[in-house]
Amino acid sequence: MTLQFRPTTLVALLLCWLLSLPAAAAVHTQHGYALYGLPKYPENFKHLDYVNPDAPKGGTLRVMGSGTFDTLNPYTLKGTSPINTGDFAQFGISELNEPLMAGSGIYDPSGDEPYSAYGLIAETLEFADNRSWVVFNLRPEARFHDGTPITAEDVAFSYRLLKEKGHPNYRSMLQDIERIDILGERRIRFIFSRPNNSLLILRLGEMPVLPEHYWANREFTETTFQPGLNSGPYRITKVDPGRSLVYERVKDYWGADLPINKGKYNLDRMEVEFYRDNSVAFEAFKAGEFDIYIDHKASNWANAYDFPAVNSGEVLKRAISHEIPSSTQALFFNTRRRPFDNLQLRKALGMLFDFEWSNRVLFYGAYERSLSFYPNSPFSATGVPGGQEFLYLSPHRAELPPELFLQPFSLPVTDGRGIPRETLREAVELFEQAGWQLRGGRLENADGKPLSFEVLLVNSSLERILQPYRANLARLGIDMQIRTVDRAQYKARLDQFDYDMILATLPQGLSPGLEQFGYFHSSQRNVKGSRNYAGIDNPVVDDLINKLSGATNRSQQVAATRALDRVLLWNHYTIPNWYINYHRIAYRNWLQTPDIPPYSLLIRSWWKGPATH
């Protein structure tokens, strides 16, 4: 039997079919991308405002590496590569491959925009109004250092390799991709698993592009001291494993004249010597062994710069203010372990940390107490929740302490002379609520077991900061041991969550997003190598992270992050530390700098000038 349709019926069926398809969203083609709104710089911009486009090329810069490295592969869980050591990212050199876009990630962060990126390997990007997909169009001139063109196949290969075999952070960053379509030699599309995923466009732009032809026959997950094939402005030319590296500027670098790169990467040669001890490193700097010292020690900054090179003007000492969100620096409780799974106990232990004493005696009054997971940023929860933040928190009233809605989060403040007795009494009451009693001069649980735990460190200089806290705990019969181990052992224990407490940092950026998933989401609690150091498993936190990742404008992003901050604080997963809002840096006077922008120290844009006397 043959079915026959009248023309009007066919038209009706066709119309129904068309209506069943997703509504076609407007398509935008741009040279850059802002998380919300438009990027600052127009399509035809010549260079960034904060660089010197006429900076001369040449010279050698000697810098200090912190600690050591045992691999040049930065993409996997094994080992510590240079980019993952302290301050290395500041120098504008690394073992990282170039990403599709620059500005929003660690590779080349923007100095004057909080959440924008511009094409690097990608010349343009296309995206729909509803942010359900993105297309990257690659530059035809983009090349790896061996001359091989960078293609869409390399981008797809990088995505699959990093997601399958890369560090767990990449799996978090690259989630929510439903499909990849290679549309041409230099054209690739990513289809998202949900719409309105604006942040994912930036995260894909930050993805390093690895050469498929190089890695196809190499073991990606192993450590190595063989420099990988890159495409950026520098290449590694000399390696002394664990001790030093030499980078040389690529004379025929394909991207040298891009507007995003103008005025950057001016030094011909960068030499990096690694120091395991900062005191030894500072003495080496004083003796002229390297050219820049970024000082993280308040006492050193206050007292150690009376030496001939400073007095003669050969070395310049500068405090440079900035608007960069400070890292989350804190003592992290491992809530996977008892007794740190008890909120009252965590709160009580936090009350016994006397920041004011440490700031007065150890830090020369240099720091502010962190009362946020996002200090020095607009994302800090202040006052009481209101507006959109209140709306995000209200559905969880039953799961949150009533005080969260009624008063700002605060920590006990001392006069800098010791813990007051009333604070000690309040802490004892909290310990009792948690099931711990003072008996015979020590704090014991119902089974008579004393409260004892270990703080795991990788930097021995931090021991002096924790010794006063240890003494405060001892007044209530609590035994806190301090254990410092080498970097390899520390990383292995961190990856396995084999610790009671650690003093650690979580880098925070100008636009919180998917990295918060890795830091705080319950799904990361038991993922080997994740940065959920505290072992957080909290459905309210999960919901707020989802709200943050789904934010469609800046106000929603700020409200969701403040709500997340508030919930994290009131759960006392950490004992917050301290922060400063300026760079402490000393350098040789032949180094010339542009005006330092608010969001980056931007050493990659410094250049060699004449020495002055």
133 to 123, 191, 201, 513: CA distances (angstroms):
17, 4, 8, 18
Tens digit of each residue's pLDDT (9 = 90 or more) over 5-62: 454 544 444 444 333 334 456 899 999 999 998 999 999 999 999 999 999 999 999 9
Question: Any alpha helices (H) in 114-263, and if so which ranges?
Answer: 152-165, 168-173, 198-205, 212-215
Query: SS3 for 263-306, per residue?
Result: CCCCCCEEEEEEECCHHHHHHHHHCCCCCEEECCCHHHHHHCCC
pTM of the model: 0.85
Q: What is the CATH number of domain 328-579?
A: 3.10.105.10
Percent over 70 (pLDDT), the chain: 96
User: In what helix (H) or strand (E) does residue 182 lie, and over which residues does it extend?
Assistant: strand 177-184
Average pLDDT of the segment spanning 448-471:
95
Angle at 600 between CA 85 and CA 605, to 5 degrees: 90
The yes-or-no verdict on residue 94 having pLDDT over 80 is yes
Would you list the DSSP string of 315-349?
EEEEEEE--PPPPEEEEEE-TTSTTTT-HHHHHHH
**By percentage, how much of the chain surpasses pLDDT 90?**
88
The pLDDT value recorded for residue 21 is 37
Could you say which architecture CATH assigns to the domain 31-55+101-215?
Answer: 3-Layer(aba) Sandwich (3.40)
Q: Average model confidence (pLDDT) for the chain?
A: 93
- 31-55+101-215 and 328-579, same CATH topology: no
Per-domain residue ranges of the chain: 31-55+101-215, 328-579
Under DSSP, the state recorded for 610 is -
Q: What is the pLDDT of residue 197?
A: 87
Q: What pLDDT is stored for residue 550 in this prediction?
A: 86
Q: What is the pLDDT of residues 265-323, one digit of tens each?
A: 999 999 999 999 999 999 999 999 999 999 999 999 999 999 999 999 999 999 999 99
pLDDT of residue 18: 38
Please say if the pLDDT value at position 612 is more than 80.
Answer: no
Q: Looking at residue 457, what is its pLDDT? A: 97
- Return the DSSP state at 81: -
**pLDDT for position 250:** 98
- SS3 sequence, 113-146? CCCEEEECCEEEEEEECCCCEEEEEECCCCECCC
How far is 286 from 270, CA to CA, in rounded Å? Answer: 19
